[in-house]
Structure 1
Amino acid sequence: MQAVTLGPEGTYSHRAASAVADEVEFRESVAGIVEAVASGRFPRGVVPIENSIEGSVTETLDALADHEVAVVKEIVTPIRHGLLAQGPEFTVVASHSQALAQCREYLDAEYPSVKLEATASTARGIQRARENPDVAAIGHPDNADDEVQVLAEDIQDRTSNATRFFVLAPVSDRSEAGGKSSVIVYPNANYPGLLLELLEPFAERDINLTRVESRPSGERLGDYVFHIDVSAGLYEDRTQEALEVLEAIAEDGWVRRLGSYDSEHVLY
C-alpha cells in the first residue's frame, strides 16, 4: 500500500508510515498530507497527533477540521532524539519545533547560547546539518552517516517520550469497529455550560474520554472546534446515543465522526 507523510526520508513520521505502507511519499506539511488523502490522491496518510511531552499537534487538529477524512489506525512509537552534527562546534540547532521543545532541558543545560531553528521536519534539520558545519540537528540517531555524527543520544527531556500518529484514509474507508474513536464537534455556539453539555453524554454512558482539545474555529473570537477521543467504538449503542445528543447540541454546526480504530505500538 502507498502512504504519504512528512518528509523527507528519515522523519519519525516516515518510520511510522513504514509500519502500514510499503511505498511512502512525502509532503512538507501536515495540511498537505491531509488534503492529499481527502482528495483521493493517496489511499493512506500518516500524521502526528499527540506527543507525551508537548501535547497535541495543532497543525494536525486544524487540518482534520478543514478536510473530510477517516482515521483507521493509531500508531504509537517511542521517540529517541539524538544530537547530530558534522563536529562538536556549532551555533545553531535545527529541528522540528516539537523536537526542539521535547529537548528543551538538555539544550538549556548543555548549549544555552545556541540559536534554535524550527524546520518542517526533523529530517529537514538533519539535512541542514549535512549542508552546514555550523548547524547541529535533533533527530533519530539512525540518521547518522558519513556526513553527520551522533554527539549525544536520548536527549529528550523524558525517557517515556512517545508520539501518537493517526493513519488517515478516505471517508469511504471509515470504520465503526475498534477500541477507540475520534470525533470533531463544531457547535457554532458559545454559552455558559456548553463544554459540560458536550461531555456529559459520555460520562452518563460510562465512556472514557482519553483526549479533549479545543481549537479556534477561525470564524470569530470565542468560537471553538472540539476534538474528542473516546475509549469506545462507534458500533456501540452507547457511543451512538452520546453522539446523537452531541448532534442535537450542535444543530447549528456539525459533528464529524472520524472513525473507530485500534492502536499499534511500533518500536524502533
Structure 2
Amino acid sequence: MQAVTLGPAGTYSHRAAGAVADEVAFRESVTAIVEAVVAGEFGRGVVPVENSIEGSVTESLDALADDGVAVLREVVTPIRHALLAQSSDFSLVASHSQALAQCREYLEREHPDCRREAVASTARGVARAREDDGVAAIGHPANATEAEPTLSVLAEDIQDRSSNATRFLVVGPESKRSAAGGKTSAVVYPAANYPGLLLELLEAFADRDINLTRVESRPSGERLGDYLFHVDFEAGLYEDRAAAAVDAVRDMVAEEGWVRVLGSYDTEHVVA
C-alpha cells in the first residue's frame, strides 16, 4: 500500500512513513495529506501530531477535526537532529520551525550570531544547504549523504532534550475506523461555555477509571472564544467502559454540539 506524508524525501515524516508502507508519496501540507486520503487517492496518510519538546502540531489537529478520516495507528519515533553544512563557515541556519525550536539552546550557545530561517521541512533546509555554502541545515544525520553534493555533519544530537520524540498518526478512510486497540482519539465540540463544562467532560472518563493522555483545546472557527477539544485516552472502544464514557459525553453535548471518534489503535515505537 502507498502512503502519503509531508515531503520532500528525507523528512522525519518520510522516515516514519517507511514503517507503514513500501511506497511513499509526498504533499506539502498536512491538510493536503488528509484531503488526499479522503478523496481516495491514497490508502494511508502519515501526519505528525505531537513533539515531546514543542507540543502539538496544530495544523494536524485542525485537519483531523475537519475531515472524514480515521486514525488507524500511532508511530512514535525519536528525533535525532544534526547540524549539516558544506563547511563550518556559514551565517544562516535553515530548517522547519519545529526543528529550529527543538535546537534553540544549542543554536544560541554555539551559533548565537547566525540568522535562522524557517522553511517548509527539514528536507527543504538540507536542500538549501546543498545549494548555498553559507547555509547550514538541521536534519537527520543520514540526510548529509543522501544526495549530491554531500554535506558535513558538524554536530550530532543537537536537540535540547535527549528524549526528543514525535508522534505520528496513520490515517485512513473513515470506513476503516476500528474499535480495537489500546488507545482512542476523539474530538468534542460542546457548542457551549459555562463553569464546570470541562470538568463534566473529564468526569465521564475519570468515573470509569480511564486515563486521559492528552486534552487540548483548539478554536472552533465558529466565533471568538469558542473551542473544541481533542482527547486521547488509554482504552479501546471495544471496551464497555470506553464506549460508555463516549456515550456520556455525547449526551452532555447533544443539544448543539457533537463528538467525532477518530478511532482506536495501537502504538508502535520505531527508530527512523
The TM-score by the shorter chain falls in which range? over 0.9
Within 2, Cα distance between the matches of 1:36 and 1:91? 38
CA deviations 1:186-212 (Å, max 9, x no partner) are: 111111111111111000000000011
Within 1, Cα distance between the matches of 2:29 and 2:133? 26
The residue identity in structure 1 corresponding to 2:34 is V
The residue identity in structure 1 corresponding to 2:30 is V
Alignment-derived partner of residue 63 in structure 2: 63
The residue identity in structure 2 corresponding to 1:117 is E
Within 2, Cα distance between the matches of 1:64 and 1:115? 34
How much has 1:3 moved relative to structure 2? 0.2
How much has 1:135 moved relative to structure 2? 1.1
- Say yes or no: does 1:94 pair with 2:112: no
CA deviations 1:114-136 (Å, max 9, x no partner) are: 11111111111111111111111
Note the aligned Cα RMSD (angstroms): 0.9
1:245 pairs, out of 238, 245, 248, with 248
- Say yes or no: does 1:173 pair with 2:176: yes
Alignment-derived partner of residue 257 in structure 1: 261
The residue identity in structure 2 corresponding to 1:7 is G
- Name the SS of the counterpart of 2:93 in structure 1: strand
CA deviations 1:18-50 (Å, max 9, x no partner) are: 001011000011111111112211100000111
Alignment-derived partner of residue 38 in structure 1: 38
- Name the SS of the counterpart of 2:195 in structure 1: coil
Alignment-derived partner of residue 133 in structure 2: 133
Alignment-derived partner of residue 8 in structure 1: 8
Provide structure 2 residue ranges, at least 5 long, that are not aligned to the other structure. none
How much has 1:147 moved relative to structure 2? 3.0
How much has 1:52 moved relative to structure 2? 0.8
Within 2, Cα distance between the matches of 1:245 and 1:41? 36
Within 1, Cα distance between the matches of 2:69 and 2:14? 20
Total equivalences in the alignment: 268
TM-score, normalised with respect to structure 2: 0.97
Alignment-derived partner of residue 112 in structure 1: 112
Within 2, Cα distance between the matches of 1:93 and 1:250? 47
Within 1, Cα distance between the matches of 2:234 and 2:251? 22
The residue identity in structure 1 corresponding to 2:152 is Q
The residue identity in structure 2 corresponding to 1:262 is D
How much has 1:246 moved relative to structure 2? 1.0
Alignment-derived partner of residue 121 in structure 1: 121
Aligned-residue sequence identity (percent) comes to: 72
How much has 1:137 moved relative to structure 2? 0.6
2:233 pairs, out of 230, 234, 244, with 230
- Say yes or no: does 1:206 pair with 2:209: yes
- Name the SS of the counterpart of 2:46 in structure 1: strand
Provide structure 1 residue ranges, at least 5 long, that are not aligned to the other structure. none
* Aligned ranges 1:176-191 → 2 under 5 Å: 176-191=179-194
- Say yes or no: does 1:192 pair with 2:199: no
Q: Is the deviation greater in 141-150 or in 171-180?
A: 141-150
The residue identity in structure 1 corresponding to 2:103 is C
- Name the SS of the counterpart of 1:144 in structure 2: helix
